[in-house]
Structure 1
Amino acid sequence: MKFNKIGIVIVAFLSTIQIYSQEILTKKEALEITLKNNFGIKIATNNLEIAKNNSNILNTGFLPTATLTSGADYRRNNQSLIFTDRNTGDDAEISGSGIVSKTYNASLGVNYTIFDGLGRKYNYKQLLETYNLTELQARETIENTYLQLFTIYFQIARLSENKDNLQKALSISKNRLKRAQYQYDYGQSTKLEYLNAQVDVNNDSITYISAKQQLSNAKRGLNVILGVDKETNYIVETEVAYNKLLNLADLEEKTIANNSLLKQNEKNIAISEFNIKVNQSNYFPTLGFNASYGFNRTENENLINPFGAKLITSDGLNAGLNLTWNIFDGGGTKTRLANAKIALDNQQILLEQQKANITNNLKNTWENYKNQLFILSAQEQNVLTTKNNFNRTEERFKLGQITSVEFRQAQINLINAKTALNNAKFDAKLIELQLLQLSGDIMNVKF
């Protein structure tokens, strides 16, 4: 007996050390790690940087272009010149070999489009709206990551509490097995009672081991969302608080104003409107300005022509305007413009469709949320009832007033009630987060 007491103390001490050695991953810490390391968020951030670069003034065509060109040419030729004497009519030939000629040139040219039918202006505005659209897409990615994070975080919390409940149930079953063994050894019960208790211990052990495995798998899944590689020997917070101030009218108003999908559709409409104006600009002429400064130098060696120049240089400034008007392009502009108007109409139809779908989804989720809160309240009462029933059944079992089958049934009822309560508790919170995501408020959740 003394040895057993010492063993119990040691086991309790080791369990305490294990609990305190486990790292607690809070919801706030999990969110901070995710926002920093999540792969999807990193990609969304890079896409936003690309959109920012595209919307820069350097990519709009508003600035002039400057081109510097230079070159050198070397020639070595054999030359032959024939002159005719005007007085005598006789021909005279002069020839030479290895005649060298060197030419150097350089020029700086500037081109600028003064007017292009306002195409650059609307293209620039279109790029700005594309950047805004990319911002909303990044926001949607973050919102989805929020929901993914807390879905699996609360799944871990659910599995942790279920595992604890199963561990307590296993402990009760083991105590029952010891009791059945003592009773059988002293002839107070049949072996059937002992065998039933042993089967229940084995079943509870299998269920407990399965719950531990599910918990480990869920933690590894959370690591993927966190974007880190860490051990699964940590615990999470299991407390859940609900937003009692939610109401359907406010949620509907916020959804229409802030839902990320609806905002993206609005930006797509703006982009389509600017696309129409960009295509319309092709009907107008284009006026451009160009200017250049050039320098040329030619050096001739071994001249055979007495009238030839040994050194020729030239430099100067050239400038001009050019007007281009594509009067008829075979109908290409007209076709593109018609298609752009149809695309705009499609975007407007899509926005109305999204509004109807999201509003319907919001109402369904709201009703589900209210029902889940009622279920949660009912399950809390069920746990109190089944716990009270189990305590009474346990006392009667110890007094030998009921059978082990009745005791086992009361135990199973308690386990099922606690499991149902955990499911209701975390399901209600996840539905609440879905409501906040639909209304564009999930990133404002405080933990």
Structure 2
Amino acid sequence: MNKKLLISSVVVVFFAFAKAYSQQTLNSVLQKNEAVQNMLENNYDILINRNRLEVADNNQSILNSGYLPSVTGTAGANYSNTDSRTEFGTTADSTGAILPPRRPVVLNDQIARRYNASIGVDYLLFDGLGRFYNYKILKEQYDLTDLEVRQVIESTTLQLMSVYYEVARLTENLSVFEQTLQNTKKRETRAQYQFEYGQVNKLEVLNAQVDINTDSITVLNARQNLENAKRDLNLVMNREINATAFTVDTLVVLKPELEIISYLNEVEDNVRLMISRSNVQIREWDINTTKALLLPRVGLSGNYGWNRSEDPQSPFFPSRTGTSDALNLGATLTWNIFDGGRSITGLENSKITAENERLRLEQTEKQVMRDIANARGDYENALAIYRLQTQNVETNRNNFSRSEEQYRLGQITSIVLRQAQINLVNAQTTQNLAKYNAKLAELQLLQLAGELMNQEL
């Protein structure tokens, strides 16, 4: 009996724990910093560009610079097995008498071996400093790729926060719609009681029921939109698409306006400007690498070789073995005095390309200043709209409360009450939109100032 009681207790505790854990999972809140961390670790665009950064890091290595010598080693071996038969003709002695021919010489399984090995070193001592500037270009290309990764991270962060705040907005809207539905249901219950006691006609009940259906449809649509937005958020974070059993933080903290504006005084950290400046630097160094083609090249070389041969005997010579080694050193001077004008043409084209990059930098500077001015205007306008919408919500909330009281006293109809209710819902949802628009405008300004990833989102 005690054993059954113990098992029953364990089962009860297990199901209680499972229910509590399920409820906790269902109500888990995805914080903004957690969402950003998931994005940084899992987003496909960020992962792809980080791989590009690794390639650029490999390219800037000393192993890819051309500063190290090239070393070549060769080795070989030959083997031969020969059978031979040598026959001799007749000869004459000093008196002219014909001598009988020598007996044929037969040599079988005559093995010959050859071995050789060598190692050579070539080093480019001077190439007109082309290698030096090419190495600087590789270093700058790594920095450029790093900036491009940062640009992707900033753009993806803005995309993430836009979707995150959309989930938050739809969550708050759903709460407003659900509260509206509850108020309408209470009105329908009250109208039903009043109708049973003969205080109102059936029309009041029917109006309330129609409004319940309308509000129910609104709630269903809001829930579906919220589920879709959560899937969009999961896609940016590269999580399970249908893992929508979570909520987000709907608290929005707007930074002081003066603090945001202070970041705009210096926009040197704007990633677009930094990328454009990096491209200008690369093109200027490219001019120097092209000039190197007009200068002589000096190279050094060295080679050490070893050979061994093992030859079998022959009809005329005995077997022999030979070994030799040799060390060779050399220097070369190469100067392509005139290559038909290709190097000169390449130099002129490099100068034009560098000038184009400088023009693009000037264009980018003006575009960034334009974008900052527009974003600042949008930010200040969004703040003003949010403040006005906050006041509008309070006005409509007071109006709805008074309308409810007047409806209870029979001083207004349900149609007038319904209009006050709709006005309050519209004001609340518009305020939600204005709040998140103001926050996104703030984040866009921070991105243009190069401060997005340095701030708490």
TM-score, length basis structure 1: 0.90
- Aligned amino acid, residue 395 of structure 1: E
Q: Which moved more, 1:75-84 or 1:157-166?
A: 75-84
Instruction: Please report how far the alpha carbon of residue 76 of structure 1 lies from its aligned counterpart in structure 2 after TM superposition.
Output: 4.0
Correspondence for 1:295: 306
CA deviation vs aligned residue, 1:387-424 (integer Å, no higher than 9, x gap): 00000000111111111110000000000000111111
- Aligned amino acid, residue 129 of structure 2: L
**8 Å contact from structure 1 (residues 254, 440) kept in 2:** no
Aligned counterparts, 1:25-64, within 5 A = 25-64=30-69
CA deviation vs aligned residue, 1:255-289 (integer Å, no higher than 9, x gap): 2x011011001011111111111111011111111
Instruction: Please report how far the alpha carbon of residue 439 of structure 1 lies from its aligned counterpart in structure 2 after TM superposition.
Output: 0.7
Verify: 1:353 aligned to 2:363, yes or no: yes
Correspondence for 2:166: 155
Correspondence for 2:388: 378
How many Å separate the matches in 1 of 2:286 and 2:172? 56
Q: Secondary structure at the match of 2:114?
A: strand
Correspondence for 1:22: 27
Verify: 1:399 aligned to 2:404, yes or no: no
- Aligned amino acid, residue 337 of structure 2: I
Correspondence for 1:419: 429
Correspondence for 1:74: 79
Distance change in 2, residues 1:248/1:342 (3 Å):
farther
Instruction: Please report how far the alpha carbon of residue 29 of structure 1 lies from its aligned counterpart in structure 2 after TM superposition.
Output: 1.8
Verify: 1:166 aligned to 2:180, yes or no: no
In structure 1, which of residues 214, 234, 242 is the aligned counterpart of residue 246 of structure 2? 234
Correspondence for 1:428: 438
How many Å separate the matches in 1 of 2:93 and 2:334? 57
**8 Å contact from structure 1 (residues 303, 310) kept in 2:** no
Correspondence for 1:316: 326
How many Å separate the matches in 2 of 1:96 and 1:342? 79
Aligned counterparts, 1:78-157, within 5 A = 99-157=110-168
**8 Å contact from structure 1 (residues 47, 134) kept in 2:** yes
Correspondence for 2:3: none
- Aligned amino acid, residue 352 of structure 1: E
**8 Å contact from structure 1 (residues 23, 235) kept in 2:** yes
- Aligned amino acid, residue 248 of structure 2: V
Verify: 1:440 aligned to 2:450, yes or no: yes
Instruction: Please report how far the alpha carbon of residue 84 of structure 1 lies from its aligned counterpart in structure 2 after TM superposition.
Output: 12
Correspondence for 1:243: 255
How many Å separate the matches in 1 of 2:442 and 2:53? 29
**8 Å contact from structure 2 (residues 114, 309) kept in 1:** yes
Give the root-mean-square deviation of aligned CA atoms.
2.6
**8 Å contact from structure 1 (residues 133, 267) kept in 2:** yes
Correspondence for 1:325: 335
- Aligned amino acid, residue 369 of structure 1: Y
Q: Secondary structure at the match of 2:128?
A: coil
- Aligned amino acid, residue 67 of structure 2: F
TM-score, length basis structure 2: 0.88
How many Å separate the matches in 2 of 1:26 and 1:275? 47
Q: Structure 2: give runs of 5+ residues left out of the alignment.
A: 1-18
Distance change in 2, residues 1:171/1:112 (3 Å):
same
Distance change in 2, residues 1:415/1:103 (3 Å):
same
How many Å separate the matches in 1 of 2:164 and 2:25? 20
CA deviation vs aligned residue, 1:176-221 (integer Å, no higher than 9, x gap): 1222233333433333322221111111111111111111111111
Q: Secondary structure at the match of 2:247?
A: strand
**8 Å contact from structure 1 (residues 159, 214) kept in 2:** yes
In structure 1, which of residues 253, 258, 281 is the aligned counterpart of residue 265 of structure 2? 253
Correspondence for 1:219: 230
Q: Which moved more, 1:226-235 or 1:352-361?
A: 226-235
Instruction: Please report how far the alpha carbon of residue 309 of structure 1 lies from its aligned counterpart in structure 2 after TM superposition.
Output: 5.8
Distance change in 2, residues 1:86/1:311 (3 Å):
farther
Q: Which moved more, 1:338-347 or 1:18-27?
A: 18-27
In structure 2, which of residues 275, 296, 303 is the aligned counterpart of residue 264 of structure 1? 275
Number of equivalenced pairs:
430
**8 Å contact from structure 2 (residues 263, 451) kept in 1:** no
Q: Secondary structure at the match of 2:412?
A: coil
How many Å separate the matches in 2 of 1:351 and 1:192? 70
- Using the aligned pairs only, state the percent identity: 44
Q: Structure 1: give runs of 5+ residues left out of the alignment.
A: 1-13
